Amino acid sequence: MPKINWEQTEKQSEVWGYLNDKTTTDILFGGGAGGAKSFTGCAWIIIMCGKYPKSRWLIGRKKLTALKESTFITFLDVCKKWGIKNGRDFKITGQQQNIITFSNGSTVYLKDLFLYPSDPEFDNLGSTEYTGAFIDEANQLVYKAVETVKTRLRYKLDEFNLVPKLLATCNPAKNWVYMEFYKPNKEGKLESCRKFVQSLVTDNPFIDSNYINQLKSIKNKAQKERLLFGNWEYDDDPSAMFSFDIISDLFTTKAKNQEEKFISGDISRKGSDNMPIGYWEGLQLKEIHVLPYEIRSDTKKSAQWIMDFADKKGVRRSHIVLDEDGVGGGVVDQIDGCIGFINNSSPIQSFEVKYDESKRVNYSNLKSQCYFMLAQFAEQGNVGVSETTDAIRNAIVEELGVVKQRDIDKDGKLAVIGKDKMKEILAEALTMRI
């Protein structure tokens, strides 16, 4: 390969320092668009391939198609810039044209890291070991994808005297990139093996001025804040029902009054891949179970599973609330004494309405009422979610975050857990009435 002369931006030198030290293992280069993030990742992989013959690297992104259409184009651009020639210095092979083999035997695998429901454990990644990995647009992945890649970073590390390194890039997002890197870094609590570097387009002298103008012309305020200014706190949208801080608090809050036990279940998730069943002690969501296909596809088996679970946990039938819309009805009918939840039914009125009309609540339906009540309880710091998997946690953060006041009546994308919780609140409301 020809000799490489990389003229780096200041941020690139900072990242480069972490990529070459003996202590850092995880680097997040994240923030605004055009901050030279993808270039940095590709440049690193190319240089390492040249320096360590027969090493093996991974470049990952949510979908292989997006990887090929964008990150890999940057890879080829960097190669071209440095006089590294396709056909002479490397070749592209593999059934999906996703393996790059350099003339010194080093290889790069382009990988799809999307969480497919059929492969929840990322078995598809196989047992292949890598020397290091670069993940572009990592905010689009679930954290488990990143953790799984990390377990594969072992290939020839001792031989090369290297430590495992993972470089991830992203735009600001309120999910694991924020919680695992951005926030701890801001608070000075980031572990020493992890590094966060803020990306800004204004730090990149190589950027085309048209590119900055394009970013400046973005109409959507939140998008502009994220991409032009690299602002991580962009989502303070007044119509959002759950602020990010309140959602984050759910995972550390311990709800008061945990004596009464409840089960809530979303058994009507049409066309969806899961059927979450929640177990609650008061307003503390203690356990979440996603029923496997062979059970959820059969109303009889689903009903039996829920009844067995209720017996095991000691939950009374009147404290089981299940979605009654669609397929739900069948399950509800098979569990004597449980409560069916109908999204579109009228909101629950307190008994005082009989005497005082001004006490009447004005929600368009029961579902809206429950969302508003959930938001209220969460704001008071009285709803907690006990240990969950990263996938569920991310689903809660992302899906509750998009619940907006005006959209509340639309049966659009609902929060997996949000929906569960509101049913539990219904259970509370119902028991309060009895």
Ligand X SMILES: Nc1ncnc2c1ncn2[C@@H]1O[C@H](COP(=O)(O)OP(=O)(O)O)[C@@H](O)[C@H]1O
Cα–Cα distance, 216 to 386 (Å, whole number): 42
Cα–Cα distance, 57 to 162 (Å, whole number): 13
Binder to ligand X among 15, 19, 27, 36 (CB under 6 A)?
A: 36
275 contact, one of Mg ion, ligand X, none, CB 5-8 Å limit per kind: none
Nearer to ligand X, 9 or 139 (CB): 9
Binder to ligand X among 2, 10, 206, 380 (CB under 6 A)?
A: 206
Segment interacting with ligand X, rule: CB under 6 A, options 92-100, 158-166, 203-211, 285-293: 203-211
Cα–Cα distance, 377 to 374 (Å, whole number): 5
Among candidates 184, 183, 182, 185, which has minimal Cα distance to 171?
Answer: 182
Work out whether 33 is an interface residue with ligand X (CB under 6 A).
yes
Q: What number of residues does the chain have?
A: 434
Segment interacting with ligand X, rule: CB under 6 A, options 202-210, 234-242, 250-258, 399-407: 202-210
Q: How many residues bind ligand X (CB under 6 A)?
A: 17
Nearer to ligand X, 46 or 288 (CB): 46
Q: Are 300 and 286 in contact (CB under 8 A)?
A: no
Minimum CB–partner distance for residue 7 and ligand X (Å): 6
Binder to ligand X among 12, 106, 140, 343 (CB under 6 A)?
A: 12
Q: Which residues does residue 132 pair with via DSSP β-bridges, in sequence order?
A: 57, 165
Minimum CB–partner distance for residue 39 and Mg ion (Å): 8
Minimum CB–partner distance for residue 414 and ligand X (Å): 32
Work out whether 139 is an interface residue with Mg ion (CB under 5 A).
no
CA 359 to chain centroid: 40
Nearer to ligand X, 214 or 365 (CB): 214
Binder to ligand X among 11, 24, 27, 34 (CB under 6 A)?
A: 34
Q: Are strands 261-265 and 276-281 parallel, antiparallel or unpaired?
A: antiparallel
Name the packing angle between helices 37-51 and 72-81 (round to 10°). Answer: 60
Burial class (CB in 10 A: 0-12, 13-18, 19+), 329: middle
Work out whether 74 is an interface residue with ligand X (CB under 6 A).
yes
Nearer to Mg ion, 38 or 55 (CB): 38
Alpha helices in 228-279 (DSSP H): 244-250
Q: Which amino acid, one-letter code, is at 207?
A: I
Residues 4-63 that bind Mg ion (CB under 5 A): 37-38
What does the binding site for Mg ion look like in residue numbers (CB under 5 A)?
A: 37-38
